[in-house]
Structure 1
Amino acid sequence: MIGRIVRSVDFERVLRCPPRARSAHFALHHLAGVPTPPAKPLRKRENEQLSTGEARTDVLPVDDSAIQAEDPGSRVWLGMVIPKRHARRSVTRSLLKRQIRAAIGRSESSLSGGLWVVRLRSPFDRAAFPAAASTALGELAGEELAKLIQRAA
């Protein structure tokens, strides 16, 4: 399972590292480790029992033993940086994010554990791809990302 990098401090940590691989449009950064914990712990509810009715007894508890047994250092955490200056249209940014998630998902087993950030470093030519989310743009980005990840792994 691929985790998400959500805290800006984690993005900053990873982007301080030199890129592990570069392509014409993307850079792939890696940092061995895990995301930083939140600054404030989650607040517990003061009253654990709800007053809306009786507790259900037919619901079985979820077994988290497989998740807890996993070494957090071997897990892949993914972050994406797609700046507006390189992809003006939100449709294009969404397409690129989907392509990045798919490419990382296909090669998750070959990647070492830690924090991975894919950064769009130059724009795609709008004259060559006039449609914001064309299949040609998606295929080109997917192929480029596959080669990038293969070089990094």
Structure 2
Amino acid sequence: MQRLRTRSQYEAAMAGGIISRTAHFVLHHAALEVPAANAGPESVRSRPLFAVRDEPWVGAVVPKRWAKRAVRRNGIRRQIYDVSARFAPTLPNAAHVVRLRMGFAADAFKSAWSEPLKKTVRAELLSLFESLGTRRDEPKARPPSVIPTASRAAPAAPTIIPAKAGIQGVQK
């Protein structure tokens, strides 16, 4: 398992889309780009974004907005990397970012990194990665979209607003 290091790697991984979410975490996923076969001289000088393509790449985003204390941010980040290392054999060879999307209640835990908080974070991360495994195995079938016939009706005619001081307007 490789770790994301640069801003461009994180941006590329987060642009791919969300594949799993829990109450506090979101898992973003993006396929590793394939280098072009007929690369011009400009692209020869640039290095690939993901050098290793036979392993999954994992990154963690834990913003200060949701975890004010550095102790809590670092603890959550450690848990993210530990759980992702456990699931690395089952992860596809792609770039993944686990993002904290909501803070844990400060009044519910007595310290910034207490045992109950560790257990709560770990349990939620386990469910995040386990739900990824079950979703990947299930076929993705979307229900057909049904549009009611009432919404297909012709739009109402525009109403004319009386003129004020020489200005006339039409309201849709």
Smaller-chain TM-score bracket? 0.7 to 0.9
TM-aligned CA deviation for residue 117 of structure 1:
0.4
Partner of 1:120: 100
Give 3-state SS (helix, strand or coil) of 1:14's partner. helix
Identity rate, percent? 32
Q: 5 Å matches for 1:1-12?
A: 2-12=1-11
Partner of 1:15: 14
TM-aligned CA deviation for residue 102 of structure 1:
1.0
Q: Which of 81, 88, 97 is the aligned partner of 1:108?
A: 88
Kindly name which structure, 1 or 2, has the bigger radius of gyration based on alpha carbons.
2
Q: Is the 8 A contact 1:33 1:113 kept in 2?
A: yes
Query: What is the CA–CA distance in structure 2 between the aligned matches of 1:20 and 1:130, rounded to whole Å?
Result: 33
Q: Which amino acid aligns with 2:4?
A: I
Q: Is the 8 A contact 1:32 1:73 kept in 2?
A: no
RMSD over equivalenced CA pairs, Å:
2.4
Count residues with an aligned counterpart.
Answer: 122
TM-aligned CA deviation for residue 141 of structure 1:
0.5
Q: Which of 32, 43, 67 is the aligned partner of 1:87?
A: 67
Which runs of 4 or more aligned residues in structure 1 lie more than 3 Å from their structure 2 counterparts after TM superposition? Answer: none
Query: What is the CA–CA distance in structure 2 between the aligned matches of 1:107 and 1:16, rounded to whole Å?
Result: 22
**What TM-score does the superposition give when structure 1 sets the normalisation length?**
0.73
Query: What is the CA–CA distance in structure 1 between the aligned matches of 2:46 and 2:89, rounded to whole Å?
Result: 33
**What TM-score does the superposition give when structure 2 sets the normalisation length?**
0.65
1:133 maps to 2:113: yes
Partner of 2:127: 147
1:21-78 CA-to-partner distances (Å, cap 9, x unmatched) read: 00000000111216x9xx877xxxxxxxxxxxxxxxxxxxxxxxxxxxxx93330111
Q: Is the 8 A contact 2:13 2:30 kept in 1?
A: yes
Higher relative contact order (CA closer than 8 Å, sequence separation 6+)? 1
Structure 1, unpaired ranges of 5+: 42-70
Query: What is the CA–CA distance in structure 2 between the aligned matches of 1:73 and 1:31, rounded to whole Å?
Result: 13
1:106-132 CA-to-partner distances (Å, cap 9, x unmatched) read: 111111111110000000000101300
